[in-house]
Amino acid sequence: MPAPAAPDAALPWWGTAAHDAYLLNDAARQFAFFGRSLDPAGGFHAQAMDGSILSGAVKELHATTRMVHSYALGHLAGLAGADRMIDHGMTALRQLHRDSDHGGYVWSFAPDGTVADGAKLAYGHAFVLLAASSARMAGHPDAAALHDDICEVIDARFWDHAAGRMREEFARDWQKISAYRGMNANMHMAEALLAAFEATGERMFLDRAIGIFNFFIGKVGAAQNWRLPEHFTEDWSVDAGYEGNPMFRPAGTTPGHSFEFARLMLQAWDLDGCRNDDLRDWAVHLYQRALADGWDHARGGIFYTVGADGAPMRRSRYWWPLTEAIGAAAALLKAGLGASDDYSLFWATVDRLFIDKTHGGWIPEIDEDDRPDDSQFTGKPDIYHAIQACLFPLLPSLSHAARELPGLRGRLAVRVD
């Protein structure tokens, strides 16, 4: 386990007014930074480290949907101007990502609005459900129609009803393009299903999420000493030797995903009335294993991937595993399961290495000398991971964002229009 952070009055200590002020201030700076990304031609611009526009970049489905989701959270929290960002993203989903010829949502479109990559990916469609659910909780008038459409697409094309999990990927015309099955898309599907349950109250969404946890954590993770295999064959056997796209499908196991799963399982445990203690206990196991394997004791931060034995494979340090570690530690604290020293250490590391105090937003990756790096990411990716790290710890419960985010109204001192 890492050592506690040294006391520093400027850092966010759990349960203090300074904690809330720190998180709200960073959330405001993030919303302001990404609020400049709106592209009048459609979707959202990619942004350089200083916030300038990266012209010519394609607009990818996960980025569009995450912006809708994030600014829907902002709207619920009273962010002035959030409606404009949500409206713009919803229009891009309907007019540019939605495939009027074949159904579903294409992965990306070019600056001129034409399809750049027509693939239909479970990962992207999970985020469409998340965006629709969050926009629905925020009261957007088009959210129910989007929600109905994406649920129909998922049920007809992606959901393996026999297995209770998501198939991975198809060509634009829904032809099969691989037999790959992935944990990552299913994890994000569980996230979206929990949001859909909060938005609609329909028990089916919660049951499907719990089914995903039962397989990937209760069955597979428990048998792998709580290290989660990322890659599977078509019959859902672990594919230990697989290596694909270094961002989305790296070799090895990803501690950041274990932190994320831990947070989501505690959310589900709460939404289910704190009855299923397996979810709580699995979350603790995942969190402890991810921290033991993933923490870089020499430099701070979390290794991107480790092997089946827990040894580091890719020592790259990105911002998003720390955001998920923050979310998991906060959830454990709310559940009365400890982790306050970890939580403080994570924020101290983020403050030292990843928060851009000059321009706003978070630096996505750092090199071995703790300097900003661009080996994997160009500019600053979307707001989704870091804004959740700021907003979710401020909520009293493990879930119920729509009910509790309005308690932050009047405290986000920024406009985005």
**pLDDT at residue 385 greater than cutoff 90:** yes
pLDDT of residue 51: 95
Contact 380, 366 (CB under 8 A): no
CA 412-261-148 angle, 5° bins: 70
86/99 Cα distance (integer angstroms): 20
pLDDT, mean of residues 144-152? 98
Tens of pLDDT, residues 90-112? 999 999 999 999 999 999 999 99
Type of residue found at 259: F
- Report which secondary-structure segment, H or E, holds 60: strand 59-60
pLDDT, mean of residues 322-333? 97
How does residue 174 score in pLDDT terms, banded at 50, 70 and 90? very high
Tens of pLDDT, residues 176-235? 999 999 999 999 999 999 999 999 999 999 999 999 999 999 999 999 999 999 999 999
Backbone angles phi, psi at 178, to 5 degrees: -165, 165
Beta-sheet strand order (sheet of 115-117): 59-60, 108-109, 115-117
pLDDT, mean of residues 115-121? 98
pLDDT of residue 147: 98
pLDDT of residue 275: 96
Kindly state the greatest CA–CA separation across the chain.
Answer: 58
Beta bridge partners of 115: 109
How does residue 413 score in pLDDT terms, banded at 50, 70 and 90? confident
373/379 Cα distance (integer angstroms): 10
140/87 Cα distance (integer angstroms): 8
Mapping DSSP onto H, E and C, the string for 322-357 reads HHHHHHHHHHHHHCCCCCHHHHHHHHHHHHHHCECC
pLDDT, mean of residues 318-342? 96
DSSP conformation class of 51:
S
- Cα atoms in the 13 Å half-sphere on the side-chain side of 106: 23
285/222 Cα distance (integer angstroms): 9
CATH number 3.50.50.60 given to 17-408? no
Active site residues: 257, 385
pLDDT of residue 338: 87
Contact 190, 167 (CB under 8 A): no
Backbone angles phi, psi at 253, to 5 degrees: -115, 150
Give the domain ranges of the chain: 17-408
Pairing of strands 59-60, 108-109: antiparallel
